[in-house]
Amino acid sequence: SATGEALLGYPREDLLGKNDYDFFPREEADFFTRKDRTVIESRTPLDIPREKIRTRLLGERVIHTKKIPILDDAGEPRYLLGISEDITERIKVEEALRESEQRYRNIVEDQTEFISRFRPDGTHVFVNEAYCRYFELQREEILGHRFRPAIYPEDRDRVQHFFESLTPDHPVDAIEHRVVMPDGSVRWQRWSDRAIFDEHGTLVEYQSVGRDITERKQVEDALQMSNRKLNLLSGITRHDIRNQLLILGSYLELSKASLDNPATMAEFVEKEKRVVQNISHQINFTKDYEDLGV
């Protein structure tokens, strides 16, 4: 055929009446001859899904060949029909796709974040190793199964509303929530989720990337508690200083009334000094817990 002429790089008149040894290296010609002999002896078609040949014009090619014996009335092989398809470009595309998929999986598996893809009903189609380790499950226990982490009861409605809020116009968002781990402990997670829709706007699946933020939450809670305590301490200190100032004001008034009585006045002055010392100590103390706050 014209395709055969193009593949082998010879015109039809140069091909007719020739055999494989006239066009291919001996090793390849031996291979084709063995296959032909198998078809003739078995009198049944033979499918050779993938074989490499070196052609005159196109170099090395990959072909898919089917050999069919043509039998005469006595059931003896008379001709051998060979149908070949050049699948070189398809093979290159498949290999490039496999390499791309392998690179993608290597990158995903190297991540410390939890990565998963799952359908709307919770059936997981992909999880990386970090996801499996975190939830203490084997990959085969998750893939193809409906798996949902145990959301902390108080967070369930919020998580449900979050996924319902993802639409074709707003497909990506992030959420922080708590989960109950297999050992019963409660952990905080942050997830970035993307809803994937088909061309009709129908939800197909979700892609999620998450990480554990429990330590960050604990630090934030500790800081908030510390700030509350510092604010309380500051309020108490201000209250104490005001009380001391009220006492000082009272002693000053009494001192003024005792100007004609030096002994009584001296007693009030000593008390005023003690009040001033108390206020000084309290102000110095505020510097200590100011540094603690920093």
Tell me how many degrees the CA angle 172-176-178 measures, rounded to the nearest 5.
135
Q: Are 113 and 92 in contact (CB under 8 A)?
A: no
Task: Residue 58: name the closest of 133, 11, 6 by CA.
Answer: 6
In sequence order, what are the residues at sequence separation of 6 or more whose Cβ sits closer than 8 angstroms to the Cβ of residue 287?
Answer: none
DSSP reduced 3-state for 294: coil
pLDDT in tens, the chain (294 residues): 666 676 677 777 777 878 888 877 888 888 888 888 898 889 999 888 877 777 666 678 888 889 898 988 888 888 888 888 888 888 888 887 887 777 666 666 667 789 999 999 999 999 998 999 899 999 999 999 999 899 999 999 999 999 999 999 999 999 999 999 988 999 999 999 999 999 999 999 999 999 999 998 888 887 888 777 777 777 777 888 888 888 888 888 888 888 888 888 888 888 888 888 888 887 777 777 666 655
Report helix, strand or coil for 243: helix
d(CA 205, CA 118): 5
Say which DSSP state 156 is in: H
The Cα-based distances of 39 to 74, 84, 173 in angstroms read 17, 15, 61
Find tokens 């007693």 and name the residue.
267
Give all strands (DSSP E) within the chain, no chain letters: 46-55, 59-71, 77-86, 114-118, 124-127, 150-151, 172-180, 186-197, 203-212
Q: 229-253 burial, b for 16+ CB within 10 Å, e for fewer?
A: eeeeeeeeeeeeeeebeebbeebee
User: Helical H runs in 111-195?
Assistant: 129-135, 139-142, 156-164
Which residues, in sequence order, are CB contacts of 112 under 8 Å at separation 6+? 130, 211
Nearest Cα neighbor of 209 from 157, 283, 134 is: 134
* pTM beyond cutoff 0.85: no
| CA distance to 149, 208, 221, per residue, from 136 (Å) | 11, 18, 27
